[in-house]
Structure formats: structure tokens, C-alpha cells
Structure 1
Amino acid sequence: MALEINDQTFKNEVIDSNEPVLVDFWAEWCGPCRSLSPVIDELSEEFKGKLKVVKVDIDANQNTPVEYGIRNIPTLLFFKDGQLVDKVVGAQPKEALVEKIQSIIK
């Protein structure tokens, strides 16, 4: 399962992480977010120990989405060594996300 984080824990869980991080920005009312959610949880399990997977509810946490210019959801941000290295907007097939993750965790 992906870890739910908030504005207060973002720096510790993402920027200061020793492993690459996939951040899923989502909201309860977002249909594509709900359809992507099981895929995000699967990726969390499949890449355990190689990639941290976290979720940020944009309705409950507004500072972090603004800081990273999140305008549409779902938006996935990929961080490595505390730096934003990639971004995906909209629901994507699992295979495309796996390819992207594999290129980041090398």
C-alpha cells in the first residue's frame, strides 16, 4: 500500500528519502484517481525496497500541490536524490509506469 503523506511530512518522506519516490497527487472525487489507485498500490508492493510510493490528497494538503504546480490530477511526480526527475499527468497504463520507474531506479 502507498503511504499517505501530507504537507508537513512531504520533505521528510520525499525530499530527504534515501530511495527514489513516486508521489501520487489525487482527490477522493477524481474518477481517474480512483481507477489509478489500485495500480499505485501494486507498484508500491512490486518495487518495495527500491522505490517509495506515497500519496498526497490535494484537498487536505494544498501547499505541496501549489509548490509543484499541480493543476490536473492524477499527477505523478518522480523524485530521486531529493530532486524532481519526471512527471506524468493523467491516468497511465501500468506498463508505462513500470517502464518509467525502471529507468529512474537504475
Structure 2
Amino acid sequence: MVKHLTKETFHEAINQDKLVMVDFWAEWCGPCRMLGPVLDDIASTLADKVSVCKVNTDLEQELAVRYNISSIPCVIYFRNGEPLRASLGFKPKENFVKEIEELTAK
């Protein structure tokens, strides 16, 4: 299940030993809407490897500024509260699965 984060829930959500994938998005963004079903699929099929979260940049501008989000969709992978890698733009599921595999192999 994809979790929708706010500035109040963000820190707790990313501060896990498990890999956390955070999608910074907005409702008006076409590529963001295309990415939604891909992330829903990843959240259900790879739940043992990654937690999938979303941050609406229109509603949570403070978080977007903190992580220098200048283009969306922007997926940032976190572990233990630290950003590991950013992935910009829409990509097919296979690309994200490869990134998840690389980051969980470490």
C-alpha cells in the first residue's frame, strides 16, 4: 500500500532500516499520474523489499524545498533517514525494480 506523507509523518516514514521509496508528485503533472499505477504495483509486489510513499509537492512545499525538488515526478530512495538515490521522470516498472534490487543488495 502506498502511504501519503505530510511534513508531520515524513521523518518517521523515511527513518527505517528498510528501503523507502518516496515519490514527489503533483495532481496536475501528467507523468506523475502515469507513474501512480506503477508505484501501486511496486507497493503490492515488492512490499517485502521497499515501502512506497508519496508527497504531494503542492501541499507539502516545505518538503519539496528541503529535498531540492525542481522537477517532478522525482523518486528519492531513503534508508535510515538518509537519501540514497534520486530518479527523475516517468520510467517503466522494470527500471524501478532494477534500482530497488541494486539498493537492497547493499
Q: TM-score, normalised by structure 2?
A: 0.94
Alpha-carbon RMSD across the aligned residues, in angstroms, is: 0.9
TM-aligned CA deviation for residue 17 of structure 1: 1.6
Unaligned runs of 5+ in 1: none
The answer to whether residue 77 in structure 2 is matched with residue 81 in structure 1 is no
Residue 19 of structure 1 aligns with which residue?
18
TM-aligned CA deviation for residue 31 of structure 1: 0.4
Unaligned runs of 5+ in 2: none
Give the whole-Å Cα distance in 2 for the aligned partners of 1:98 and 1:71.
24
The letter of the residue matching 2:46 is F
TM-aligned CA deviation for residue 85 of structure 1: 0.7
Residues 46-99 of structure 1, C-alpha deviation per residue, up to 9 Å, x if partnerless?
Answer: 111221100000011111110000001000000122211100111011111100
User: What are the residue-to-residue correspondences of 1:1-106 with 2, within 5 Å?
Assistant: 1-14=1-14, 16-106=15-105
Aligned length: 105
The letter of the residue matching 2:45 is E
The letter of the residue matching 1:50 is K
- Kept in 2: contact 1:80–1:104 (CA 8 A): no
The letter of the residue matching 2:61 is Q
Q: TM-score, normalised by structure 1?
A: 0.94
